[in-house]
Amino acid sequence: MMRQYELIERVTAYDPDADEALLNKAYVYAMKAHGHQTRASGAPYFSHPLEVAEILTTFKLDVATIAAALLHDVVEDTDATQKDIEELFGPEIASLVDGLTKINQLDLVTKEAKQAENLRKLLLAVSKDVRVLMVKLADRLHNMRTIGHVKEEKRKRISQETLDIYAPLAGRMGMQTIREELEDIAFRALNPEAYEMIVSRLEDIKSEVGDIIVEIEVVLQQKLEEAGLKARIFGREKRPFSIWSKMERKQLSLSQLSDIFGFRVIVEKPLDCYLALGVAHQNWRSIPGRFKDYISNPKQNDYQSIHTTVIGPHRKRVELQIRTDVMDCVAERGVAAHGFYKDIKDKKDAEAGVAVPAATSNAYRWLRHLVDIISSADNPREFMEHTKLELFHDQVFAFTPNGDLIALPKGANAIDFAYAVHTDVGNGAVGCIVNGKHEPLMAELHNGDEVEIITSKAQTPPPSWEGSTVTGKAKAAIRRATKQAIRTQYAGLGREILDHCVEKAGARYTQEDLETAVRRLGLKDVEDALASLGRGEITSVNILSVMDIEVDDKQTRPFAKEKAGSKNNAIEIRGVDKNLPLKIAPETGAVPGERIVGIFTPGEGIIVYPIFATKLMEFEDQPERWLDLAWGTDESDKTYPARIKVVIHNEVGALAKVTQTIGENGANIENLQMVTRERDFYDLDIVLEVVGIKHLTRVLTSLGKVKPVSHVERVQG
């Protein structure tokens, strides 16, 4: 276990002005707080926060972060409180510790829900201070290094969580060294046989080609020096998990992989990267499709480098990554690397390849974007779904007509692109032009596509879009728009109900009267009140009474059975596609031309029934749920459901004759079920699609004349 003075020496080695007293204070406090606690390995518990702090010193982090690492478990695992930490170490360190403390008092049923809520809290804390993430990843790394001491079930659960969340999160934040070690340890815990197989095979390959690797390094160095370029070159083998992932993704055997070894070329300036690329391509043939320029188009985690693959000496495929020292630092340490350059804010420096402050990095902006998605998730499962979607996808780069670069996950379509540009563009999208050609909005985009989105103010995104998109931002925005559309529908229905009842009562009201009533009812706003009325959560009488409008209760009842269906006293509907949340009762169906009523049904809106439906008897003692409706449309080409029962003789071809008759009369069968009634007869339960009552009557009359039909009638529910 590292001693106190050793930790101080590690910090002062890169920060001579470090507050040694603060570090000593945090060291002693944490050691005393954890006391005689031990880990599963039997080691003193304090060894864990100390190891976490040591990991962070390799990233040269500031004193506050190192102190938070020492203290990160005291609130969760000892008698210390958050208030104690703030009083002793100040609000900055206390905030970091709070972001790292799990939510223990959660009234949640499943481990998955608890996992999601704790991750939500962590990401919210990280969005305010990225140092929280660095401590958390170092914490997870040390826990994984000692994972062999925990029980197998817990070991596999923690390892899977690491692969699902923490390793990808480290990658998205550019902390590649931590990501690779987390992946390899988790991989070894989850699939030890595959891990050992790959490690063994890598050892064999290294012994076979070791001399060739050295030769390639020497030849590359020589060619670059001849071109006047100063460069450092070193070979690097892929990690076991990376190899395994590629084998699974591309369905390859280990012997088929051509890029197990890669070569990193480190040069002085960004321009030298392109000169080195030219040297490589002049001397060796490049492989088509294997060139990527992440300098002009950095990844979302700020990664910059040029990738190319050439046929090198001995006709071996040689994968090259060409970058500057600064790019290499960011590639390995991600947002942690930005700590070295907190004072550099000159745009020219950034363009020259010098890292910029963490708060302005692409990785940090991505994290804030992820937090925006969190706010729209309704439940833990949805939150975890969005988080994993954002973590796992590789990128596709597309452009707006103005040349703005839009980075999207692989598999993204024009809808994802539209929402990446702006939420309003996504909500109003009606079409797209890709590379000058009209394409469907669902068309998958590819690198380099130029995409123009055609919008309309009248457009509302259909709920089906959610299943067609891949970005969390698009899914969240579509879900919000759908909720708002439903709310608007209920508000529209509420307005019609209120206006109708006020008119029946012979009264009038102004918008100001309504706003005053809403405040007196304690509701959020007018739309909220009307939506509550449309959903049946409040009645029109509730609103009218607080507007001081004297009304007769009988006049304002939403339903008068003796006059049901009259256009003079009912709300008119024009089918279920009107801007009202109406559904037709599945027990009976309902068609234009017959008298109808509506029943408020919580969670479903208004269910439309024909007046003869026996189901209505269940609501006779609930008059407040009844709504007087009338068809505001004549029979047209639009179809409506009607449920019928047909009794047929059990004879060959009987069913065919029934379906043929229905088709000949221009009706469609939406659903058909055959139920055995007696030996010689069958009951057919059929849901027809017809345009109105006259059409339905014609179908029923024709069916009654078919020879095998014994009886036909409308189902009354």
pLDDT in tens, 220-258: 899 999 999 999 998 877 888 888 887 777 676 666 665
Considering the candidates 6, 9, 76, 680, report the single residue annotated as catalytic: 76
Q: Phi, psi (5° rounding) for residue 387?
A: -60, -45
Give, in words, the CATH class of 4-190: mainly alpha
142 contact partners, CB below 8 Å, separation of at least 6: 48, 51, 52, 55
Predicted local distance difference test score (pLDDT) of residue 353 = 36
- Is 393-463 a CATH 3.10.20.30 domain? yes
Look up 76 and say whether it is catalytic.
Answer: yes
Predicted local distance difference test score (pLDDT) of residue 354 = 36
615 with 588: CB under 8 angstroms? Answer: yes
Residues of the chain with CATH 3.30.460.10: 200-343
Considering the candidates 62, 77, 237, 685, report the single residue annotated as catalytic: 77
Which H helix or E strand runs over 475?
A: helix 472-504
* Amino acid sitting at position 255: S
Predicted local distance difference test score (pLDDT) of residue 293 = 92
Could you say which DSSP state residue 164 is in? Answer: I
The CATH architecture to which 640-714 belongs is: 2-Layer Sandwich (3.30)
User: What distances in angstroms separate CA 6 from CA 9, 12, 51, 675, one per listed residue?
Assistant: 5, 10, 12, 83
**Residue 464, SS3?**
helix
Predicted local distance difference test score (pLDDT) of residue 485 = 79
Residues of the chain with CATH 3.30.70.260: 640-714
CATH fit for domain 200-343, picks 1.20.210.10, 3.40.50.2300, 3.30.460.10, 3.40.390.10? 3.30.460.10
Residues of the chain with CATH 3.10.20.30: 393-463
Q: Among candidates 496, 516, 502, 510, which has minimal Cα distance to 552? A: 502
pLDDT in tens, 72-108: 999 988 989 999 999 999 999 998 898 887 644 433 3
Look up 77 and say whether it is catalytic.
Answer: yes
Predicted local distance difference test score (pLDDT) of residue 347 = 37
Profile the chain (717 residues) by mean pLDDT over runs of 10 residues.
88 91 94 90 91 92 93 90 93 89 48 64 70 88 92 90 84 83 93 89 74 81 92 85 80 66 90 94 88 86 88 79 90 65 36 41 62 55 56 68 79 91 92 91 86 89 87 85 79 77 75 80 79 73 70 47 48 51 85 86 79 88 76 70 91 90 92 79 91 92 91 90
DSSP code string of 624-693 = GGEEEEEE-S-S-S--EEEEEEEEEES-TTHHHHHHHHHHHTT-EEEEEEEEE-SSSEEEEEEEEEESSH
Q: Phi, psi (5° rounding) for residue 318?
A: -120, 115
Predicted local distance difference test score (pLDDT) of residue 463 = 83
Whether the CA torsion 455, 460, 463, 466 is positive or negative: it is positive
Could you say which DSSP state residue 163 is in? Answer: I
| Number of helices and strands in the chain (H, E) | 27, 20
Predicted local distance difference test score (pLDDT) of residue 558 = 44
> What's the pTM?
0.56
Q: Among candidates 194, 189, 192, which has minimal Cα distance to 147? A: 189
Question: What is the phi-psi region of residue 593: left when phi exceeds 0, alpha when psi lies from -120 to 50, beta otherwise?
Answer: left
205 contact partners, CB below 8 Å, separation of at least 6: 260
